[in-house]
Amino acid sequence: MKKVLISYSTKGGNTEKLANAIAQGVNSVEGFEAVVKRAKETTPQDLVEADGIIIGSPVYFGTMSAEVKDLIDRSVVVRRKLKNKVGAAFTTSGHITGGKETTIFSILYAMFIHEMIVVGDPIEAGGHYGVACTGEPKEGDLENGRKLGVRVCEIIKKLSK
């Protein structure tokens, strides 16, 4: 069974709802299991044990939350061990122009430094860099989250051949 870690922070629950939708997508793919954890509860060993890593954060001043940044800072001890793992990012924001893309980029930069293979939005989702929504995720946002979970699994399968 392949594992996809979905690690996130949330204050009002919106990012958690999107994380759970992504987990539904992962769990819908045969041979894959989603492991959903708050960033503050995620250990560097959790990152190593995962075949794919999807990290989510609410927007805080155009970047990731302190909780997610702390996870990334703690991940330095496993830097060489995340090479070639599949990664993706997601975010939620309170405002339509609230810095969603810059927040996703801040997470993806860390994945690039870890030499991970980064996956953006599924083509059907219409975005580019990762799944994002404004306010509480609506059904279309949750569907995009599920699609992102499936896409990460599909890329892991292709790389495992």
Q: State how far the Cα of 95 lies from the Cα of 30, in Å rounded to an integer.
A: 36
pLDDT at position 122 is: 75
What mean pLDDT value characterizes the chain?
Answer: 95
Which residues, in sequence order, are CB contacts of 63 under 8 Å at separation 6+? 69, 99, 102, 103, 106
Q: For the segment 94-113, what is each residue's pLDDT rounded down to a tens digit?
A: 998 889 999 999 999 999 99
Give the domain range for residue 67: 2-160
pLDDT for 32 beyond 90:
yes
Q: State how far the Cα of 106 lies from the Cα of 35, in Å rounded to an integer.
A: 22
Q: DSSP letter at 101?
A: H
**Could you give the number of structural domains in the chain?**
1
- Say if CB 31 and CB 2 are below 8 A apart: yes
Q: What is the CATH number of the domain that holds 36?
A: 3.40.50.360
Question: Rounded to the nearest 5°, which phi and psi values hold at 52?
Answer: -140, 150
pLDDT for 125 beyond 70:
no
